[in-house]
Amino acid sequence: MPVFADLTQNLITEIATQINGKVLSRPALLTTDGTNIVYVVDVDIGLQPPAGFDSLGNPITTEGTGLDAILRNVQIARGNRDLIYAEAGSAVTLQRSASGLYQVIGFSNEMPGTYTRIIVDLGDFTIGDPTDLSLVSRPLTLGELSIYGTFGIIPFGAVGLFLGGVLQEITS
C-alpha cells in the first residue's frame, strides 16, 4: 500500500470519534479511571486492513494474527448501568475520549459482521476456496467444555473466541 494511502487511512481512523463494535468478553472490574474501579470489556471493531500479503495470499497483520481488530480492556462509561449487562456478542457504540482512549457509551444497531475472503487468480482465471475471517464470541456449551478440557478445569459459563470457526482463546 502506498505511503499516501497509509497516511489517509490513519487520518480517517484518527478523526473517527464514534465507532461500532461487538463485545467479545463479559464485563469485569479490571481497571480504574483514577477515582473508581470501572468495568471493562474486549471489543471487536471489525477487520482491519492488512499490512500486506505473503506469497500464499494470506494477510500479514500488524501482530501476526487475525486478532488485531480487538481492543482490549475498553472501559464502560460511568453512570450507564445498562451496559453492565452487555454480554459477549452484543453490539455497542464506542466513543473516543479527550485522552484518545475509546470507551463503551451504549448499545448499537449495527456491529462488525461476517468477513469471507475468496482468492481470485486473474492469471489463469481460477477462484480459490472461501476463507472465513469472522470473529465470533459466545459461551461454550457443555459438550465443548468436555472437548477443550475436562469438565471442571474450564469453568461453566466460559466464553470462547472463534476466528473462522476455530477456537482461539477461552476467557471466563
Ranked by mean pLDDT, the top range of 12-26, 138-152, 153-167 is: 153-167
State pLDDT tens for residues 110-125. Answer: 877 777 888 888 888 8
The whole-number pLDDT of residue 143 equals 82
The answer to whether the CB of 80 falls within 8 A of the CB of 54 is no
State pLDDT tens for residues 34-45. Answer: 788 888 888 888
Q: What is the DSSP string of 132-155?
A: E--EEEEEPPHHHHHHHS-BTTBP
Q: How confident is the model at residue 69 (pLDDT cuts 50, 70, 90)?
A: confident
Closest CA to 166 of 118, 134, 129, 142: 134
* Higher-confidence position of 149 and 72: 72
Contacts of 57 (CB under 8 A, 6+ apart): 119, 128
The whole-number pLDDT of residue 134 equals 80
3 state DSSP class of 55: coil
The whole-number pLDDT of residue 60 equals 58
Note the residue count of the chain: 172
- What's the CA gap between 159 and 117, in Å, rounded? 26
Model confidence at 64: pLDDT above 50: no
The whole-number pLDDT of residue 56 equals 65
